[in-house]
A and B are shown apart, each in its own frame.
Chain A
Amino acid sequence: VPPDSGGLGGRASVIVVDDDALFRESLAHNLEDAGFAVTAFADGPSALAHVGAGRGADLMLLDWRMPAMSGIEVLRHLRKAEGDLPVIFLTALSDQVYEEAALIGGAVDFVDKSRSFAILLRRINLILGGIKGVRAANGGDTGSVTVGDLVLRTDSGRAAWKARELPLTVTEFEIVRMLASRAGGDVGYRELYDVVHGAGFFAGLGPGGYRANVRAFIKRIRQKFREADPGFDRIENYAGFGYRWRADS
């Protein structure tokens, strides 16, 4: 079933910007097969020209390392033009500094390029779904969830703690949403892992490898909260099982 975009009434449109011809081609085909209208560009300037000419889209998938103009520069130009086109970084660069720079620069997510198409599709749908939800409600307050000092704007995938914006990736956002929506209750490693990769997925490290994976996610999330609030201690460990969001007492 092709997902439809609230804005255009037809198929959701996605812009792909990547200098690797093979990747661009294979990804574009997969997205088209999944029901999206795809426009692909080999470099940043031509993509910006396309957007600047008024031919918008619902989403942009952006590579980081490209000749002529890097992905982060493309994002900067987009934000300067005051467009609200959501951008997902899709790159082989995995260092955390890139992720943070991208999220702070206004990207909604940062996805490892070598991940399977299923994972990417999941992220795209989460983002477009959030936007659709809000557009359907015509800008109403259904797009926002508040748990104590935590505000989760499901429309944009943005989170704020004590009124300070947190640069969370979509996955991190989903983990926080899962923990917070069950505040005071325990959430197991496996459940959290399914948020990360989709149900039934197993990482290459073998059974049990996902614990380390989830732990790394929680660590990053805590770190991002602590950067906004050094005294943050809402995410508690439940040894051998998982984590929980401590409810307001």
Chain B
Amino acid sequence: VRLVLDILRSFATKLVVLIAIFVTVPWIVYEQFRLADTEKRQLLLKSAQEQGRLVADGLRGELERFDPRSPRRLAEALQRLGGGGDFATKILFRPREATGSDTFFYIAALPAVTNEYLEQERSELRARGILARVRRSCDGAGPLSERYTNPAGREEILTSLTPVNTDRGCWVVITSHSTAAFLGSSIGRAYWETPEVQIAAAIYVLMAVFVVSLFADAWTSLRRFARLARDIRATDDSGASFASLVRVPELSGVADEFDRLVARLRGSADQIRFAAEENAHAFKTPIAVISQAIEPLKRSVPMDVERHRRSIEMIEQSIERLDELVAAARRMDESAAELLDSPTRQVDLSSLVARTADSYSGTLADGGPRIAKQLDSGLVVLAGEELLETVVENLLDNAIGFAPADSAVALTLRRDGGAARLVVEDEGPGVDPADLPHIFERYYSKRPAVDGAADGSPHFGIGLWIVRRNIEAVGGTIAAENRAEGGLKVEVRLPLA
């Protein structure tokens, strides 16, 4: 559920959804508008057709009486009927005995035009196949929606053709419009070709580009923030600031706050480090005086008096302890500072583990346990090199310490998703299940006290505790379990850089 919510909230998802919306919306809206436009166009065409029919009806008598010797009469009748309209009318005639599709003659036109003009127009209409349709329409009226450019170079739309059949042949009354109302409509062309759709589309695309780029900008700014935040955590002084990287002005306030926050964290860390060194210095100076001042006493106190000798011893031991305590307090302060501002680097874990394991080759030669390593190469983590070296050494020391002489200690380093998985397995006795939860605790040691260690000293029980402390300091986890085959398995997971 968490993952799903994260995906839903993520900027990238929203960006994808936004783009999807920007792509879909036009189709839906366009379809709606196109349907509305179709109705409007049909109404327009219908009225044009009505006009054509009225003209044709009005002319019917004149056409039936038509005498080729006096064509003026028809022209005058046309003038009477169609004059004052906002459309042009043309009358074509096809004699009954004519064959072929284009045997149409222009008989009259309103407004009047020259013969040459008519001839040009006729051939244009024929070329566009309109005359063929006119011929078919001798059998019935129909709307026409054909844009063409007339010989005068103006755009016109043929809006209707109405046939009138007489004894002599077929007459066709064609109306055409060239007013803005018709030219601006979608008649005779696709809806998207109309200027209003194109302007709307241009505005829409502009808006979409703007909004998407706004989103993308914010997104890249956030990603830069994230990357920078990681870089700032990874190195102690990269010198980079959030403010210098942000491109969206509204984010610059946030960036400044972030920079101030980082500066304050670093300042606190430096303050703590400084105070740690100062305090240690201040405390150590009197300790130094005491440890020097005790020297003459040591020589002047008769050493055969047991109590005197013991007193000196106790003072010396206490000074030593005090000195250790001062050093320990300093280390703790420093680790507190490192929590705030850890000087981590990119460490090639693979080569570090290999190098550390190789430094154990002496153990191998002496018939001790072997180290069998299987290491993925190129695994890089953010940590301190020394800190990780201690981890590997302590884990190996622990495993080798428990492993029988002729056995193998398996050292495995694998990439596991976004983490590096380091596993150390031995064939030793393992750990009592009741003790398993405690093996990473301080002063825990279940090693045979004296005779087990090669140099005859007891184990101190801090090795695995240090391992866990170091691993947790760099954001890793550690776990131990007994192997089914016997022996202990310790698994460390570190996030990859």
Spell out A's residues near B (CB within 8 Å).
Answer: 20, 22-23, 26-27, 29-30, 33, 65, 92-95, 112-117, 186, 188-190, 203-209, 211-212, 215, 219, 223, 233, 235-242, 244, 246
A239–B458 contact, CB under 8 A? no
B281–A237 contact, CB under 8 A? no
Q: Please, which residue of chain A has its CB at the minimum distance from the CB of B401?
A: A240
Q: Inside 8 A of A116's CB, which chain B residues have their CB? A: 291, 316, 319-320
A23–B288 contact, CB under 8 A? yes
Interface residues of B in 461-496 (CB under 8 A from A): 462, 466
Contact of B401 among A22, A117, A239 (CB under 8 A): A239
Could you give, for residues 279-300 of chain B, a 1 whenever the CB lies within 8 Å of some chain A CB and a 0 otherwise?
0110011111101110110010
Q: Inside 8 A of A211's CB, which chain B residues have their CB? A: 457, 460
Q: Please, which residue of chain B has its CB at the minimum distance from the CB of A234?
A: B359
Contact of A246 among B289, B320, B327, B362 (CB under 8 A): B362
Could you give, for residues 203-244 of chain B, a 1 whenever the CB lies within 8 Å of some chain A CB and a 0 otherwise?
000000000000000000000000000000000000000000
> Range of interface residues on chain B?
35 or more
Q: Which 5 A-B pairs have the closest CB atoms?
A: A208-B460, A204-B324, A92-B284, A26-B292, A239-B400
B289–A26 contact, CB under 8 A? yes
A206–B291 contact, CB under 8 A? no
B284–A189 contact, CB under 8 A? no
Q: Inside 8 A of B454's CB, which chain A residues have their CB? A: 188, 240-241
A236–B289 contact, CB under 8 A? no
Q: Does B345 contact A (CB under 8 A)?
A: no
A26–B293 contact, CB under 8 A? yes
Query: Chain B contact residues: over half helix, strand or loop, or mixed?
Result: helix
Contact of B285 among A113, A115, A206 (CB under 8 A): A113
Q: Inside 8 A of B323's CB, which chain A residues have their CB? A: 112, 114-115, 204
Q: Given A20-B289, A26-B292, A92-B281, do A233 and B359 touch, yes or no (CB 8 Å)?
A: yes
Q: Inside 8 A of B455's CB, which chain A residues have their CB? A: 188-190, 240-242
Whole-angstrom distance between the alpha carbons of A115 and B292 in the complex? 9
Whole-angstrom distance between the alpha carbons of A219 and B356 in the complex? 11
B400–A240 contact, CB under 8 A? yes
B287–A30 contact, CB under 8 A? no
Q: Inside 8 A of A205's CB, which chain B residues have their CB? A: 324, 460
Q: Inside 8 A of B390's CB, which chain A residues have their CB? A: 215, 219
Whole-angstrom distance between the alpha carbons of A239 and B452 in the complex? 12
CB distance from A139 to the nearest CB of B (A): 36
Q: Inside 8 A of A233's CB, which chain B residues have their CB? A: 355, 358-359
Q: Does B368 contact A (CB under 8 A)?
A: yes
A95–B277 contact, CB under 8 A? yes
Q: Inside 8 A of A113's CB, which chain B residues have their CB? A: 284-285, 288
Q: Does B270 contact A (CB under 8 A)?
A: no
- List 9 contacting pairs A-B, 8 Å CB cutoff, sorted by A: A20-B288, A112-B323, A115-B323, A116-B316, A117-B292, A204-B320, A204-B321, A212-B462, A240-B400
CB distance from A128 to the nearest CB of B (A): 19
CB distance from B463 to the nearest CB of A (A): 8
Q: Inside 8 A of B316's CB, which chain A residues have their CB? A: 116
Q: Given A204-B323, A205-B324, A241-B455, do A29 and B359 touch, yes or no (CB 8 Å)?
A: no
Whole-angstrom distance between the alpha carbons of A202 and B466 in the complex? 21
Whole-angstrom distance between the alpha carbons of A203 and B397 in the complex? 22
Q: Inside 8 A of A215's CB, which chain B residues have their CB? A: 390, 393
Q: Inside 8 A of B389's CB, which chain A residues have their CB? A: 219
CB distance from A90 to the nearest CB of B (A): 8
Q: Does B90 contact A (CB under 8 A)?
A: no
Q: Please, which residue of chain B has its CB at the minimum distance from the CB of A120?
A: B292
Q: Please, which residue of chain A has its CB at the minimum distance from the CB of B371?
A: A239
Whole-angstrom distance between the alpha carbons of A238 and B397 in the complex? 9
Q: Given A207-B458, A242-B455, do A236 and B359 touch, yes or no (CB 8 Å)?
A: yes
A237–B359 contact, CB under 8 A? yes
Q: Does B94 contact A (CB under 8 A)?
A: no
CB distance from A184 to the nearest CB of B (A): 9
Q: Please, which residue of chain B has its CB at the minimum distance from the CB of A189?
A: B455
B457–A190 contact, CB under 8 A? yes
Q: Inside 8 A of B362's CB, which chain A residues have their CB? A: 186, 236-238, 244, 246
Q: Inside 8 A of B358's CB, which chain A residues have their CB? A: 233
Q: Please, which residue of chain A has its CB at the minimum distance from the CB of B357?
A: A237
Whole-angstrom distance between the alpha carbons of A204 and B291 in the complex? 15
Contact of B386 among A33, A204, A219, A240 (CB under 8 A): A219
Q: Inside 8 A of A117's CB, which chain B residues have their CB? A: 291-292, 295
Q: Please, which residue of chain B has its CB at the minimum distance from the CB of A223?
A: B386
Whole-angstrom distance between the alpha carbons of A116 and B277 in the complex? 21
Whole-angstrom distance between the alpha carbons of A240 and B299 in the complex? 39
A237–B393 contact, CB under 8 A? yes
Q: Does B383 contact A (CB under 8 A)?
A: no
Whole-angstrom distance between the alpha carbons of A186 and B368 in the complex? 14
Q: Given A22-B289, A223-B386, do A114 and B284 touch, yes or no (CB 8 Å)?
A: yes
Whole-angstrom distance between the alpha carbons of A189 and B457 in the complex? 10
List 5 other contacts, CB 8 Å, given A204-B323, A215-B390, A237-B363: A112-B284, A115-B323, A189-B457, A190-B455, A240-B400
Q: Inside 8 A of B459's CB, which chain A residues have their CB? A: 208
Whole-angstrom distance between the alpha carbons of A237 and B286 in the complex? 38
Q: Does B361 contact A (CB under 8 A)?
A: yes
B360–A239 contact, CB under 8 A? yes
Q: Given A94-B330, A239-B397, do A30 and B458 touch, yes or no (CB 8 Å)?
A: no
Interface residues of B in 383-419 (CB under 8 A from A): 386, 389-390, 393, 396-397, 400-401
Q: Inside 8 A of B366's CB, which chain A residues have their CB? A: 238
Q: Please, which residue of chain A has its CB at the minimum distance from the CB of B447?
A: A240
